[in-house]
Amino acid sequence: MIWLTQDFDLLSVLLRALTLSLEALTVGGVLFLLVIATPAMAEAGAREASSRFAGWAALGLAIAQILSAAESAAMLMGGSGLSFHEVVTADFFIADITIVVAALLLFLLTRLRRGSSRFVNPLLAMVIVAGSVALSHGASRLDHRFLLLAFTTAHHLGSAAWIGAMPFLLVTMRRSQETDRLHALVQRFSTMAMISVAVLVLAGVGMACFYIGSWAGLYGTSYGLLVLAKVYLLFLILALGGSNYFLLKRTRGEAKPLLMRLRRFSEAEIGLGFTAILIGASLTSQSPAADMPQDRLTTHEIVHRLGWKQPSLTTPAFAQLSRRVSLKAELESESFTGGSPNDAMDQAWSEYNHHWAGVIVLTAGVFAFCARFGSRRWARNWPLLFIGLAVFILLRADPEAWPLGPRSFWGSFAEAEVLEHRVFALLITAFAVFEWAVETGRLQSRRAAMVFPALCAIGGAFLLTHSHALGNAKEETLTEMSHGPIALFGITAGWSRWVELRLPERDDSRIRRVLSWIWPVCLVLVGIVLLNYRES
Amino acid sequence: MKKIVISAAFGLICLFSASRLAFAHAMLVSSTPAINGIVHGPGVAVDLKFNSRVDGKRSRLILVLPNGATQALAVTAQPAPEELTARAELEPGAYTLRWQAVAADGHISRGEVPFKVQ
């Protein structure tokens, strides 16, 4: 079981992220049908499509929750010797099964299309939310438990009614023919979204008061940094939502083309919103900042680490790195200690990796800029630089594993960090190849053009939740302090490029021009942050 | 095809955004024996206090003995929802107490307490 411990730990958070996203989608769909797309407000075809979509989301939730329960059961029975009876009678398992039953009933009711489902579905949605809240931090807190459970419930409902319901708005927009009716529906959604944001933010602030507790907890812990990342995404979504709101006011009379732009902006809102939900899943695996008074960074420590220093472009020899114990012994030890600190040579090795990565990304950003605004044909090959980055990650990110170290290629997948680095290398290669083909005109497909922004946004989200097992909370926070901005720049670059490509060619060229500036600037900023990365 | 691409993208977002290790949930606030502490044997009382409610029936305490062998300790009835307690008869030497706590919300966390018995 020890071989699977790290990957199972990773899988458990992965499934939590999946279930939270599908919960928001399912509950958002039910709320959308209940409050927005009522029979009077929406066309029958659009309602039907939204209902079907909510049903499939519920089925997805049931499957993801079954997997989550099975993973927990396997972990406890295989790793801790618990009996099947002990597992299935645990509170968390009962909460898992409650969600599964409610989601399956919801799926069946949407398929049967019974009139009564309009009243039963909201009840089932509430059961799903209650089950999910029972699996949150609030359930295990010692103080203010019921208040925190209430805040968490409000936070879940707010995100479901806003982010979770938004895909249903897009489905409805696509299936609607009557522009005036659709316009009224979108305005109604806009009102619900504003109320949801208020509920979401108030509940979030309430939780932050208990889970973070102080400014030092906000900027000096990993938990606080993730909350700040969520706040940044919230502002981005609000900026897009705000522009949609004003757009809506202008759409009377000439609705069709402007509603198209509203759809494109909404796609980015949905993507950013689900990224925020996924950070929420990551937060559930973090110890709240309020519980870590000894492990908070001071402003002096932060300034010392983040102050600019000359990048190091020389590497220690492989033989100078600390010798690792056998993989089995390391996995066993790390599962209890959380990792081992790097020595000076390991740190120099890692800094060198990051600094060269910075040189590559910075150069790619500058070339992308030249290609777009300087009309330099050769500069269009900038994506190929990222293949160099992928090779660099594969060769040097994990020196104890293949090809440099003694651990085999397949065996080292037992380490979650190695697994993550290899997925990263794969992602980077994929987007480099696609974007190079698109930039140089080898691929004309519009879908191929979307690969770069999609993988950029995914990679950013991935990095935002990528952890470093250093066995020292302060060092981990300092490392995440540089990886966090890189992730946020990646997410911003991805979604700005996405909207730029998705807006119709004839659309307002000023918006497209602003968007086309944002992503190369983000690439340059990522390069600069990487060049200043340090571990001491 | 388009639906498959969208589903795959959504799945990937979920997959790659969830990679933080579920390492720190129920956190050890204080312990007897203390971390790197010295206690007198042979009867040693173990008392671990966490920052959240833990499930005593489903949590585990394992002792790494001076010779490297491991021994599971029986968790006794919880005096408080956030505490795990046990008792062991130990010879003088260096030990490590490895704990695996299941929080009330189902999250598993682990840690260790090295100590010496005189």
Per residue in A162-195, pLDDT (tens digit) is 999 999 999 998 888 888 888 889 889 989 999 9
Whether residue A143 is predicted with pLDDT greater than 90 in this model: the reply is no
- Chain B's closest residue to A283, CA to CA, is B20
Q: What is the mean pLDDT of residues B59-65?
A: 91
**DSSP class of residue B27?**
P
Q: Is the pLDDT of residue A24 over 70?
A: yes
Give the length of chain A: 536
Give the model's pLDDT for residue A29.
Answer: 96
pLDDT confidence of residue B37: 92
Predicted local distance difference test score (pLDDT) of residue A465: 64
Q: How far apart, in Å, are the Cα atoms of A59 and each of A19, A44, A65, A101, A108?
A: 11, 23, 10, 10, 9
Provide the percentage of residues in chain A whose pLDDT is more than 90: 40
Residue with tokens 């952890």: A467
Q: What pLDDT is stored for residue B66 in this prediction?
A: 92
For residue B98, what are the β-bridge partners?
B62, B112
Chain segment B27-57, per-residue pLDDT in tens = 888 999 999 999 997 899 999 999 888 988 8
Residue range A439-453, pLDDT digits in tens = 898 888 888 888 889
Report whether pLDDT(A5) > 60: no
The residue of chain A nearest to residue B102, with distances taken between CA atoms, is A76
The band of A11, judged by pLDDT with boundaries at 50, 70 and 90, is confident
- C-alpha span between A51 and A118 (Å, rounded): 10
> What phi and psi values does residue A125 have, to the nearest 5 degrees?
-60, -40
Mean pLDDT of all residues in chain A?
85
Which of A10, A140, A286 is the closest to B19 by Cβ? A10
Cα–Cα dist A498/A264, whole Å: 9
Q: What is the mean pLDDT of residues A445-472?
A: 76
Residue A285 near chain B (CB below 8 Å)? yes
Burial grade of A374 (CB within 10 A; 0-12, 13-18, 19 or more): exposed
**CA A397 to CA A463: how far, in whole Å?**
14
Greatest pairwise CA separation for chain A in angstroms:
73
Q: Where are the beta strands (DSSP E) in B1-118?
A: 28-32, 37-39, 43-50, 60-64, 70-73, 83-89, 93-102, 108-117
Q: What's the confidence (pLDDT) of residue B22?
A: 33
Query: CB–CB of A68/A87 below 8 Å?
Result: no
Q: Is the pLDDT of residue B21 over 60?
A: no
Report the residue from A81, A92, A469 with minimal CB separation from B105: A92
Confidence of residue A282 (pLDDT cuts 50, 70, 90): confident
State pLDDT tens for residues A340-382: 666 788 888 889 999 999 999 999 999 998 888 777 788 999 9
Minimal-distance CA residue of chain A relative to B21: A10
What is the pLDDT, as a whole number, of residue B49? 93
CA distance to A425, A531, B45, per residue, from A396 (Å): 11, 17, 47
Instruction: Point out the least confidently predicted range of A117-121, A129-133, A382-386, A529-533.
Output: A117-121
Q: How confident is the model at residue A336 (pLDDT cuts 50, 70, 90)?
A: low
Task: Pick the most confident of A87-91, A230-234, A287-291.
Answer: A230-234
Predicted local distance difference test score (pLDDT) of residue A2: 47
Cα A402 to Cα A339, A394, A500, B26, B56, distances in angstroms: 20, 9, 40, 35, 41
**pLDDT tens, position by position, B71-95:** 999 999 899 999 999 999 999 999 9
pLDDT surpassing 80 at residue A26: yes
| C-alpha–C-alpha distance, residues A385 and A431, integer Å | 11
B101 part of contact set with chain A, CB < 8 Å = no
pLDDT at B2 over 90: no
pLDDT at A522: 94
Tell me the pLDDT tens digit for each residue of A28-62.
Answer: 999 999 999 998 888 989 999 999 999 999 999 99
> Given CB atoms, is A340 within the 8 Å cutoff of chain B?
no
Residue range A300-330, pLDDT digits in tens:
999 998 889 889 888 888 777 766 656 566 6
The HSE-up count of residue A425 (CA atoms within 13 Å, CB side) is 16
Contact A292 B22 (CB under 8 A): no
Q: Is B15 on the interface with A (CB under 8 A)?
A: yes
Exposure of A444 in the CB half-sphere (CA atoms within 13 A): 0
User: How many whole angstroms separate alpha carbon A358 and alpha carbon A526?
Assistant: 7
Determine the pLDDT at residue A339.
Answer: 57
CB contact under 8 A, B19 and A466: yes
Per-residue confidence (pLDDT) for residue A342, from 0 to 100 = 65
Distance CA B17, CA A352 (A): 26
Q: Which residue has the higher pLDDT, B77 or A99?
A: A99
Determine whether the interchain pair A90/B100 forms a contact, defined as Cβ–Cβ distance below 8 Å.
no
Q: What per-residue confidence (pLDDT) applies to A529? A: 94
Nearest CA distance, A374 vs chain B (angstrom): 33
- Contact of B100 with chain A, judged by CB distance below 8 Å, is answered with yes
Candidates A141, A336, A477, A491: best to mutate against B (most CBs of B within 10 A) is: A336
pLDDT at B15: 36
Find out whether A361 and A416 touch, Cβ atoms under 8 Å: no
Confidence of residue A337 (pLDDT cuts 50, 70, 90): low
Average pLDDT, chain B: 79
Higher pLDDT pick, A369 / A114: A369
Please, is A29 exposed, middle or buried when counting C-beta atoms within 10 Å of its C-beta (0-12, 13-18, 19+)?
buried
- Kindly report the backbone phi and psi dihedral angles of residue A37, in degrees, each rounded to the nearest multiple of 5, phi listed first: -90, 60
**pLDDT the model gives residue B12:** 38
DSSP helix/strand/coil, B69: coil
